[in-house]
Amino acid sequence: MHENPIFSESALLLGATRILEAAGVPSLKAQLVAESLVSASLRGVDSHGVQLIPYYVAQLRAGNIVPAEDGAVLSESSACLIYDGRRGLGQAIADVCCGHAVRLAREHGLGLVVSRDSNHFGAAAFWGQRIAAHGMIGLILCNASPSVAPWQGREGRIGTNPICMVLPSSGRGA
């Protein structure tokens, strides 16, 4: 018997989805969040995987995440768009923003989308892979809460501020 149980991908997806739905997340959004978290876990990026579910549930219960919120476009000008997440689920807001970025890039050769007032969106690579799947080059940036202490510091003052860069693949392997 394993000390740490091993679950199939489908069992993880179903379990994560059901937990999120029980916390008040609409079904399609719960499935998207579960997909992003399970994807990270399967890639070995456990810090952004299913272990985040208790954190998300706590944020939902505290009212920091508005589970049904879709956000809205604040402004759009040529290849640039500003999106207000209105405290929605980070993955749901990121999904909408990726769609806008791909649309704008097809129309203008570049799609620059900035979102605000959103929440944790999981691993940036998940969104990069979605953009690359459309044949696009992607650059995903995110700010983060101050959790890292500066050199010789004792308290978190600096965010990790992740950056992800992707190029589309021909699918022929390396």
The answer to the question of residue 82 being in a domain is: no
Q: How many CB atoms lie within 10 A of CB 100?
A: 17
pLDDT (tens digit per residue) in 58-115: 999 999 999 999 999 999 999 999 999 999 999 999 999 999 999 999 999 999 999 9
The answer to the question of residue 48 being in a domain is: yes
CA angle 28, 32, 33 (to 5 degrees): 120
Known active-site residue 108: no
The answer to the question of residue 104 being in a domain is: no
The answer to the question of residue 44 being in a domain is: yes
Q: Which position among 48, 108, 120, 134 bears the catalytic label?
A: 48
What's 26's domain CATH number? Answer: 1.10.1530.10
How many domains is the chain built from? 1
What predicted TM-score, i.e. pTM, was given to this entire model? 0.90
What is the domain range of residue 29? 9-61
The answer to the question of residue 55 being in a domain is: yes
The answer to the question of residue 87 being in a domain is: no
pLDDT of 2 above 90:
no
